[in-house]
Amino acid sequence: MPLRSWLLAVMALLLLPLGGCGFVDIDKRFFVVAVAIDKSGSEQKPYRITLRLSIPNSKIEPGMEKSQVETIEAAEISEGVRRIKALLDKELDLGHCKMFVLGKKLSHDDISDAVDWMVRRRDIQGSAYVAMAGSQGYDILQKMPLSERYSGNSLFLTFGGDGTRSSYIRTEHLFDLQRRRTEKGMDPYLPVIRTTGNGYEVDRLALLDKTKVRTILTPEETQLFNQLDQQYVNSIIKTKLDGHPIILTATDISSRYTVSSNGILKMKVNIAGAIEEAPNNVFNQDWGELQKMFERDLEKDAMALFQKIQKAGVDPFGFGLRYRATHLSSRAYQEWLEMYPRLKFEIQAKVKIQGTGLIK
């Protein structure tokens, strides 16, 4: 037999043990776009897992999206996901899941198991958004706003910055949440989602220690947190003139701080912007005096925010990480833990009014 025939025969034999294609057709898959994990209240099955499934649709129009919500109670999260498979006629695909919602009770108890499950699964993206529900995560996934072009689109636009851009919204990704849970000197936070008549409301921020929620910031505190930490522009600061509110829209924000070994944190905040709302006579006022009023109120609000966070025993700003980076000592982190409860804050604000929005 010629050599070529022998080679062909060997190649044919080698093809026999090869498996077929493992790819599942798109019409035989359910795309999981959001996952909610709640406390069920049962000791035997403590977790309630909810999946929002997107059904492929040829038409992409507002109100035309097709989705399905499946929920189940289980002893473990991974078990619950696999049991949901038994309720479906198609394969689950978590590769497109971009939203994870943790229930209020779970977040106040312990998020460790839920986050560990997200991080360990190889088909879950590290860039996925993580948030806390104002009540139950199930309620968030059940809500289907009429404006959605496809399943989960409202939540993706809210946290992705492609749609609304609000100074009251703070986005948290899975990779950053895991980093904050394991890094010494900084603590995690989660945006809080609540349902409304037409959709969702996201204007609060939950601050956690490494495992559970310690305090929740108000909308005003959340905006100030974003301003001080992210230098978030297109936000506002307030003051009052003769009982009338004056609103300044910040177009430029910068902040920097130092932490000294003697237990003092010094922060400088510079804000520039134009007045958006004020009494009609504001044009004739002394702008220097108005700037001082803004500075006093900003310093007061920032001090109250820092003290609230300090009292809760959490460090979402990462002050401890900065202290570790600037104090090269094997005991730097231990020194910080001892210092933080009695840390003193010195805040210096500088506000510049660039215009009043009026032409004289």
Residue 126: CB atoms within 10 A of its CB come to 13
Residue 31 dihedral angles phi and psi, to the nearest 5°: -90, 120
Secondary structure (3-state) at 352 = strand
Asked whether residue 93 falls in the same domain as residue 33, the answer is yes
Residue 275 dihedral angles phi and psi, to the nearest 5°: -75, 130
Asked whether residue 37 falls in the same domain as residue 160, the answer is yes
* Domain-located, residue 1: no
Structure tokens at 180: 């904050």
Residues 6+ apart with CB under 8 A from 210: 112, 181, 187, 188
Query: Which among 35, 28, 57 is positioned nearest to 150, based on CA atoms?
Result: 57
Determine the pLDDT at residue 254. Answer: 93
Determine the pLDDT at residue 31. Answer: 86
Asked whether residue 139 falls in the same domain as residue 90, the answer is yes
- From residue 84, how far is each of 133, 151, 152, 288, 324 by CA, in Å? 22, 19, 19, 64, 45
Last residue of one domain, picked from the residues 190, 217, 244: 217
Asked whether residue 57 falls in the same domain as residue 76, the answer is yes
* Domain-located, residue 6: no
* Domain-located, residue 347: yes
pLDDT digits (tens, 9 = 90+) for 231-289: 787 899 999 888 889 999 999 999 999 998 889 999 999 999 998 888 777 767 788 88
Last residue of one domain, picked from the residues 202, 217, 232: 217
Asked whether residue 342 falls in the same domain as residue 354, the answer is yes
Secondary structure (3-state) at 45 = coil
Asked whether residue 226 falls in the same domain as residue 280, the answer is yes
> Can you give the CATH number for the domain in which 268 is found?
3.30.300.210
Length of the chain as a residue count = 360
How many angstroms separate the CA atoms of 207 and 316, rounded? 7
How many angstroms separate the CA atoms of 320 and 259, rounded? 9
As a dihedral over the C-alpha atoms of residue 308, residue 312, residue 313, residue 315, rounded to 10 degrees, the angle is: -60
pLDDT tens, residue order, the chain (360 aa): 577 777 888 788 877 776 655 555 666 778 899 999 999 989 999 999 999 998 766 665 655 567 889 999 999 999 999 999 888 888 888 888 999 999 999 999 999 999 999 999 998 999 999 999 999 999 999 988 877 777 778 888 889 877 788 999 999 999 999 999 999 999 999 999 999 888 899 999 999 999 999 999 999 999 999 999 987 878 999 998 888 899 999 999 999 999 988 899 999 999 999 988 887 777 677 888 899 999 999 999 999 999 999 999 999 999 999 999 998 888 999 999 999 999 999 999 999 998 876 665
Strands of the chain, DSSP E: 29-39, 47-54, 67-74, 91-93, 99-102, 129-133, 189-195, 200-208, 213-217, 235-241, 244-259, 264-277, 344-355
How many angstroms separate the CA atoms of 191 and 206, rounded? 6
* Domain-located, residue 234: yes
pLDDT digits (tens, 9 = 90+) for 193-244: 999 888 899 999 999 999 999 999 999 999 999 999 987 878 999 998 888 8
* Domain-located, residue 5: no
* 264 DSSP β-pair partners: 344
Query: Which among 278, 266, 273, 280 is positioned nearest to 351, based on CA atoms?
Result: 273
**Overall number of domains in the chain:** 2
Asked whether residue 162 falls in the same domain as residue 94, the answer is yes
Asked whether residue 149 falls in the same domain as residue 117, the answer is yes
* Domain-located, residue 12: no
Asked whether residue 85 falls in the same domain as residue 149, the answer is yes
- From residue 161, how far is each of 128, 165, 226 by CA, in Å? 13, 6, 14
Asked whether residue 103 falls in the same domain as residue 190, the answer is yes
* Domain-located, residue 3: no
How many angstroms separate the CA atoms of 291 and 259, rounded? 27
Last residue of one domain, picked from the residues 163, 192, 217: 217
Determine the pLDDT at residue 264. Answer: 94
Residues 6+ apart with CB under 8 A from 248: 236, 237, 238, 239, 271, 273, 274, 275, 276, 294, 351, 353
Asked whether residue 262 falls in the same domain as residue 180, the answer is no
Determine the pLDDT at residue 256. Answer: 94
Transcribe 199-226 into DSSP letters. SEEEEEEEEE-SSSEEEEE-HHHHHHHH
* Domain-located, residue 13: no
Domain that residue 70 falls in: 24-217
Asked whether residue 28 falls in the same domain as residue 150, the answer is yes
